[in-house]
Amino acid sequence: GEKLLDYPLRRRRQCMKDLLRDEKPGCFEYAKHITVSTSSLIFIQSAYLFVTVWQYAPVSQIEADDAHPDCEATLTKINSFLEAAFQSSCEGIMLKSLDVDAGYCASKRADSWLKVKRDYLDGTGDSLDLVPIGAWYGNGRKAGWYSPFLMACYNPDTEEFESVCRVMSGFSDSFYMEMKDFFSGDKILLKKPLYYRTDEAPDMWFSPELVWEIRGADLTVSPAHKAAVGLVHPSRGISMRFPRFVRCLSDRRPEDCSTSADIAEMFHSQTRKMDVSAAH
């Protein structure tokens, strides 16, 4: 065999296509991609900026070739690809250099590639103010901390906290340590309170203390989470896809977080509505 890790992406990709020539829809397909030009890696480093300016933000990938991106045709091509990624419910897009610093290195960030997700961009995605009501013990690098956290909205009619999602992205190590100290003692409950509505079973339950802003790609019907149950689907709640922590809202009480009605309204106003009547 031949080691390919140090070869640039363009050559690695060609080697793979030489070996795996025939795609089979629904069984084996290559990721959709487009190739745009750039004179240097400045394109990769500035991609986040011009994607933000154009207000599109998703897995599809864009690859960088060799001329300059500062032209309307190139930007239009990229924006069309981003919009197609949205419509296909992709989490994000990857921008990668084909030749310069384009070797493969596992589990390492580099300037030659960039991930762009809907929730990374201001003005896109859905943002909710949610309350952490439980957590699981972290694994691997997060061992000893809480990760993920179980987040909930509030239903003022029933006075219940209804689960929305698990979140494990967007936290710093210092924040993990702070939350491990904060959620301790009497803030850890012996059992699930009657006013918590969820089918999730975290390792521990927390008393409702904090409100966090959480941003995600979009909202979807969920069998496990109970936010707005009955308002969109008779037996299922609403969950957030690809949730990410943004900030702690220290001026908000838990009862002032996003409500079930808020979430149902946001679901109905999404650009691409799903057919909930077809959900099983």
- Number of domains present in the structure of the chain: 2
* Within-domain flag for 279: no
Q: Which residue has the higher pLDDT, 61 or 42?
A: 61
> For residue 100, what are the domain limits?
9-120
Domain's final residue, options 65, 95, 120:
120
Measure the CA–CA gap between 242 and 203, rounded to whole angstroms: 21
Highest mean pLDDT (candidates 57-71, 92-106, 253-267) = 253-267
pLDDT at site 72: 54
| pLDDT on residue 37 | 66
Within 8 A by CB and 6+ apart from 106, the residues are: none
Do 73 and 137 lie in a common domain?
no
Mean pLDDT taken over the chain: 80
pLDDT score of 57 more than 70: no
Cβ–Cβ < 8 Å for 213, 243: no
Whether 1 is in a domain gets the answer: no
Instruction: Return the pLDDT at 89.
Output: 73
Question: Bigger pLDDT: 211 or 47?
Answer: 211
**Pair 130, 37 in one domain:** no
Kindly report, residue by residue over 85-122, the tens digit of the pLDDT: 767 777 777 778 777 777 887 766 666 677 766 665 55
Is 161 in the same domain as 198? yes
Strand-strand pairing, 212-216 and 204-206? unpaired
CA 107 to chain CA mean position, Å = 18
Of 120, 147, 165, the domain-final residue: 120
Tokens representing residue 15 in the block: 């080697």
| 45-49, 151-155, 198-202: the lowest-pLDDT one | 45-49
**Rounded CA separation 224/165 (Å):** 9
The DSSP secondary-structure symbol of 163 reads: E
Query: Which pLDDT score, from 0 to 100, does residue 75 have?
Result: 60
Q: Which residue has the higher pLDDT, 10 or 111?
A: 10
pLDDT (0 to 100) of residue 109: 66
User: Which of the two residues, 70 and 229, has the higher pLDDT score?
Assistant: 229
Shared domain check, 256 and 175:
yes
Domain presence at residue 57: yes
Most confident of 61-70, 95-104, 261-270: 261-270
d(CA 105, CA 7): 11
Segment of 18-22, 124-128, 154-158 carrying the highest mean pLDDT: 154-158
Q: Is the pLDDT score of 139 beyond 50?
A: yes
The edge-to-edge listing of strands for the beta sheet with 92-97 is 33-36, 60-64, 92-97, 113-117
Residue 238, domain CATH:
2.40.50.140
CA distance 251 to 70: 43
Residue 280 resides in a domain = no
Does residue 141 share a domain with residue 69? Answer: no
Under DSSP, is residue 60 helix (H, G, I), strand (E, B) or coil?
strand
Name the pTM for this structure: 0.63
Better pLDDT: 94 or 243: 243
**Cα 33 from Cα 93, distance rounded (Å):** 9
Structure confidence at residue 163 (pLDDT): 98
How is 239-260 classified by DSSP, letter by letter?
EEES-EEEEE-TT--GGGS-BH
Query: 169 and 268 share a domain?
Result: yes
Q: Is residue 180 part of a domain?
A: yes
More confident residue, 45 or 188: 188
Nearest-angstrom CA–CA distance, 134 and 148 = 9
pLDDT tens per residue, range 196-221: 999 999 999 999 999 999 998 788 89
Which contiguous run of DSSP H or E holds residue 213?
strand 212-216
Q: Which amino acid makes up residue 220?
A: T
Q: Percentage of the chain with pLDDT > 70? A: 74
Choose from 1-5, 24-28, 163-167 the range with maximum mean pLDDT.
163-167
Domain boundary pick from 52, 87, 120: 120
Task: Tell whether 143 and 248 lie within a shared domain.
Answer: yes
Of 108, 113, 115, 103, the residue nearest 44 (C-alpha): 113
Instruction: Identify whether residues 140 and 239 lie together within a single domain.
Output: yes
Q: Are strands 146-155 and 204-206 parallel, antiparallel or unpaired?
A: unpaired
